[in-house]
Structure 1
């Protein structure tokens, strides 16, 4: 759902990303200190930086001008002042490339992606964000990479591609957390809250928003605090907890007024107006909405203009039909400029309400039917199920699964203990026959057991990598599928194929290819959870068995394997990147192990066809 405020991690990137920030600048500008101040009062910092950028350009100091332009772009985006931002970004990108400043270039590309998305140019925005990600990966810029991933997640959320949003945000969170960047971790937690809110899980959203408050200093992070309070207030509003929502939004309003943040004030007034409208205080609602509308017109925030006009139309429909229809007309005009699926749903729903209040029941029914059709056409159901279960069910279901697997393991151990007792009884009977004979027999048996153990280990493990071989992993998978069905647990498996492995052998030789296979087995094994098992089924193809696992948990497993694998480079050519395609499937009731593998294999081939280095999850019933 639209109209959340996002405090992006770029708002906190310190000047340490540029060497010039640590060296200081002519004139004594401390860029690091200014960026820290921007987290508290971006409006004042933006005004100071705008003046500095003009002076530095006039002096011809390109390094310092780039630092100023970068900070100016960050604060402008932070305040959602998009007017003239394209000029700042164009000049900044030119200087970043001229001065070979990859960190600044990646940051500015991410911000330009945000600007393009705001203008409805999603395809161009995606190109900029992918370029920012690629640039950060090539230069091993972990912080810029996390920032670009977070920005891409926000764009995908606007396109309702929810199954891709949370994995990107969790990956960004992992990167920030590994770098111990508390402020950036707070920012990405806020965005995760936005994602859950868009999916309609407001309880989970409030939890993440409140987690993002940890570490914020009310004396130094006032703007960040206002954004968080606003987002919490919106979720409480949607939960119809009117009093709590109103109190929280008024706190956000007070923070924004103290900072002279007109945009933040308008956001808060918009939501307070919505509360008044829901509670039948039409006059108070219109006053709040009209004040918000003035700021949204000034800053050209199209999403907010759209939402405010829809709310005004609903408020006006029972008292001023002409004004209500004028508000609807402007909302329709904005929709035509950027006809997104969420806007379409909101437009039909509000139109139906407006027509109903005017007793124009035929038009109201038509709009309601259009809303129903648009809702059906929206392919959110599968994505909603995939992503909301990814974390909401992870903790509880994983705990239940672990307990069930522990019980199963104890039963197996008990059976083995009973079998061991029987064997020992036979040995004791043999001892009664002859001490000498039993001693000789024990010696022979011990030797045979050890030989059998060695032979069994060789027979069940891949000679090159030490991982379970094809026979071992297939037998393990079939046993675990049966055990999970007996316990009433989910079961998933994945077929994995190393990307471009033939090219690696052809270019670097089979010795490097063997090293890649050993590296994959060695690095990925520690990332797996208890009960998971990875085996080599032939060549560069692997099978991952995941007992007690829902398909929604597989993206987290994939990301952990992928991140650990890409972080390992020793003993391999520096330019060689190991990547893999993964197809996964969850067992359906009565489905055979062989059919389940075929579905996962088909999903893996789709991952290959879609560009490799990615995961595709088979839907129930898919075979090709």
Structure 2
């Protein structure tokens, strides 16, 4: 009898442990779900769990991952890194690889928020590689999402879009609707950065509906804020203000202080744009109070800058200069060159309003210098090396795909011609339709290999041609050269005159560069405003002469019919070889380095790099 009672007691204790474990797991899942809707409630669940019981290692790691995600989302990156630091490699050994990789992703996200983009990107790439080798699709998708967001922030829009679309596909496979919505939101943000505001609004509207249907109030507030940014970009300030106000209401209900400050600053900008500087100051003061409490220096600088605009609109120039002094001091502490640029621009406008023309001119010159420096710094050498490794792999994949497509097209063409011959013997009408099909196949192949905007070879086509031309030059022991050139200050062209003018500039540059090429030479568009020229049988010095002719012709090309003040130049990097023939991607890298050196020396020039 006593044995039976003891057995029942043991069984009851074991059952209690199972129920407790189940409850802990359920509560952690609930906390993770609440992270995107009500983050404070998510943290409360974790705190209560840790207070009530001692969590095992797996549960504690899950709790810390949720907490780390919260701090990253709310820009408390140092807190996030402290959580990561608790988990030494020894502690992680006994746990699953997926959890360890998630922790690494959170650490990388925190590093990114602290401005260490290079470190973050390398971590994302490492996690991506490990997740793929271990077939952890959810982690792979998360790494792709982070990479897409980072590349988009860096301005590499085509790469960013590829990463985000791949992430979205995987999130659908593993059935993670919350992440699908986040990815759609990121794609919408990307379109906004590309200047495709209407396309971005379409995506944001779709995401907004999904979040409303799922009851994700915090996500709804975030999307409304992003919608407001796009409406503001389109100068539709009524819709922008409406979106910001609804976003502010939700963030206030949820107590998201950092987000509340962000929206108040955005509203201040709209009020300034609609000539309501007094209302703007009230909103900006609310933002500043929150940011000062949280010690967000860079964000504070932005608010002081916006307040300076308000005072300038009110004609209160001394107060405007005082706010700009505050903004400058905070920008120096937070190392924000973009804030420095905007401060110089506003100082120039304030001095002009005060009719202090010499000071206004001095500030405008400094503004130009800092703007140029920001553009130059965007080509980070370390990032270029990281991207090169992956670009090499992708180029080879693209070349293989192109060769397969060409082989397939050739087989199809042979079959079609056979069918034509057979049908011609039977009846001429059949021949007509077959010939039409051949023409259609040729048109489709041409479309696959041609850049739609410029009608010159696209990236995949020009790389394939370059590989083939280099192979021929090796076999015949002939020289080979490449040029890489891009349009100087092209972002300014888009920002100042619009993307339609930018597209026409790209088209004219393509036409100019084609006019200098021989029959065997090719020029292709490999990026937004970047072109690659393949020069088979051409030694380095001759290639440099071709580059100089292209540069000179572009500089002398009259584009004032597009915009009266429009003046376009290009910078060209050259790499050539006579004896040893390195791989095409290596030569392109050297040409790109030469191009970068031209940019550093003031642009509108040519530089030759030896292939050795």
> Structure 1, residues 302-329: CA drift from partner, whole Å, max 9, x if none?
4432321210122234565554334323
Give 3-state SS (helix, strand or coil) of 1:100's partner.
coil
Alignment partner, residue 310 of structure 1: 305
1:278 to 273, 281, 303: 273
| 3-state SS of paired residue (2:151) | helix
Corresponding position: 1:64 with 2:59: yes
Report the equivalent of 1:354: 350
Question: Counterpart in 2 of 1:126?
Answer: 121
**In 2: Cα distance, 1:204 partner to 1:327 partner:** 36
Residue 583 of structure 2 aligns to a residue in which SS?
Answer: helix
Q: How does 1:209-288 map to 2 (within 5 A)?
A: 209-217=204-212, 220-288=215-283
Give the match for residue 99 of structure 2. Answer: 104
For residue 33 of structure 2, what is the aligned residue in structure 1? Answer: 36
Matched, 1:596 2:522: yes
- Secondary structure of 1:599 counterpart: strand
Within a 5 Å distance, the mapping from 1:467-478 to structure 2 comes to none
CA drift of 1:63 comes to 2.1
Q: Give the TM-score taking structure 2 as reference length.
A: 0.60
Q: CA deviation at 1:214?
A: 4.1
**CA 1:422–1:71 in structure 2 vs 1: closer, same or farther (change >3 Å)?**
closer
CA distance, structure 2, for counterparts of residue 161 and residue 414 of structure 1 = 41
Change (3 A) 1:482 1:76: closer
Taking the aligned partners of 1:262 and 1:217, their CA distance within structure 2 comes to: 22
- Distance in structure 2 (CA, Å) of the matches to 1:341 and 1:49: 39
How do 1:596-615 and structure 2 match up within 5 A? 596=522, 599=534, 605=583, 607=585
- Paired residues, number: 441
Judging changes above 3 Å, is the alpha-carbon distance between structure 1 residues 249 and 415 closer, same or farther for their aligned structure 2 residues? same
Q: Which runs of 5+ in 2 are unaligned?
A: 1-16, 380-412, 429-441, 475-509, 524-532, 537-574, 577-581, 597-605
Alpha-carbon distance in 1 for matches of 2:161, 2:120: 19
Contact 1:21 1:30 in 2 (8 A): no
State the 1:254 CA deviation.
1.4
Asked if the contact 1:39/1:220 (under 8 Å) is kept, the reply is: no
Q: Tell me, what secondary structure is at the counterpart of 1:173?
A: helix
Cα deviation digits, residues 5-63 of structure 1 (max 9, x gap) = xxxxxxxxxxxxxxx9999457565221222222221122123324544666xx36322
CA displacement 1:406-435 (0-9 Å, x = unmatched): xxxxx9999999866765699xxxxxxxxx
Distance 1:270 1:481 in 2: 46
Q: 1:330 aligns with which of 304, 326, 330?
A: 326
Change (3 A) 1:217 1:260: same
Report 1:406-445 matches (<5 A): none
Could you say if the C-alpha distance between residues 97 and 53 of structure 1 is closer, same or farther in structure 2, counting changes exceeding 3 Å? same
Relative to 1, partners in 2 of residues 1:608 and 1:289: Cα closer, same or farther, differing over 3 Å? same
Q: Do the aligned partners of residues 280 and 70 (structure 1) sit closer, same or farther apart at CA in structure 2, a change above 3 Å counting? A: same
Structure 1 residues 412 and 251: alpha-carbon distance in aligned structure 2, compared to 1, 3 A threshold:
farther
Matched, 1:49 2:46: yes
The CA deviation string for residues 388-410 of structure 1, in whole angstroms up to 9 with x for no partner, is xxxxxxxxxxxxxxxxxxxxxxx
Aligned partner of 1:364 in structure 2 is 360
Question: Contact 1:41/1:259 (CA < 8 Å) preserved in 2?
Answer: yes
* Cα displacement string for residues 70-105 of structure 1 (whole angstroms, at most 9, x for unaligned residues): 111112223334452221222246576243332222
| Distance change in 2, residues 1:88/1:380 (3 Å) | closer
Distance 2:286 2:146 in 1: 30
Structure 1 residues 330 and 353, CA gap change in structure 2 (3 angstroms): same
User: Per-residue CA shift, 1:436-490, capped at 9, x if unaligned?
Assistant: xxxxxxxxxxxxxxxxxxxxxxxxxxxxxxxxxxxxxxxx99x9599989x9955
Kindly provide the CA deviation profile for residues 359-384 of structure 1, in whole angstroms up to 9, marking residues without a partner as x: 433232233233334445526999xx
Q: Is the 8 A contact 1:52 1:68 kept in 2?
A: no
CA 1:28–1:357: 2 relative to 1, 3 Å:
same
Deviation of 1:149 after TM superposition, in Å, equals 2.4
**CA distance in 2: counterparts of 1:483 and 1:83, whole angstroms:** 48
Query: Is residue 195 from structure 1 mapped to residue 121 from structure 2 by the alignment?
Result: no
Q: For residues 136 and 420 of structure 1, do their structure 2 counterparts lie closer, same or farther at Cα, with a shift above 3 Å needed?
A: closer
Deviates more, 1:588-597 or 1:66-75: 588-597
1:225 deviation in Å?
0.5
Relative contact order (C-alpha < 8 Å, sep 6+): which is higher? 1
- Map of 2:9 onto structure 1: none
Cα RMSD (Å) of the superposition?
Answer: 4.9
- Which region of structure 1 is more displaced relative to structure 2, 61-70 or 347-356? 347-356
> Helix, strand or coil: the match of 1:120?
coil
| SS of alignment partner, residue 216 of structure 1 | helix
Distance in 1 (CA, whole Å) between partners of 2:203 and 2:372 is 30
CA offsets 1:208-265 (integer angstroms, 9 cap, x no match): 2123224224563000000001100111112111111111111111111221222222
Partner secondary structure for residue 534 of structure 2 = helix
- The separation in 1 between residues aligned to 2:140 and 2:25, in whole angstroms, is 30
In the aligned structure 1, how far is the partner of 2:106 from the partner of 2:587?
Answer: 31
Looking at structure 1, the residues matched to 356 and 334 of structure 2 have their Cα atoms a distance apart, in angstroms, of: 28
- Mapping of residues 283-294 of structure 1, within 5 Å: 283-294=278-289
CA distance in 1, matches of 2:177, 2:44: 27
Which runs of 5 or more structure 1 residues have no equivalent in the other structure? 1-19, 383-410, 427-475, 498-533, 542-585
Tell me the distance in 2 between the aligned counterparts of 1:272 and 1:610.
Answer: 46
Q: 1:355 to 1:86 in 2, by over 3 A?
A: farther
Please tell me whether the aligned partners of residues 21 and 32 of structure 1 are also in contact (alpha carbons under 8 angstroms). no
**Aligned 8 A contact 1:256 1:262 in 2:** yes
Distance 1:199 1:99 in 2: 45
Distance 1:482 1:180, change over 3 A: closer
Residue 156 (str. 1) matches residue 91 (str. 2)? no
What's the secondary structure of 1:240's corresponding residue?
A: coil
Q: Tell me, yes or no, if the aligned pair for 2:225 and 2:243 is still in contact at 8 Å.
A: yes
Q: 1:203 to 1:412 in 2, by over 3 A?
A: farther
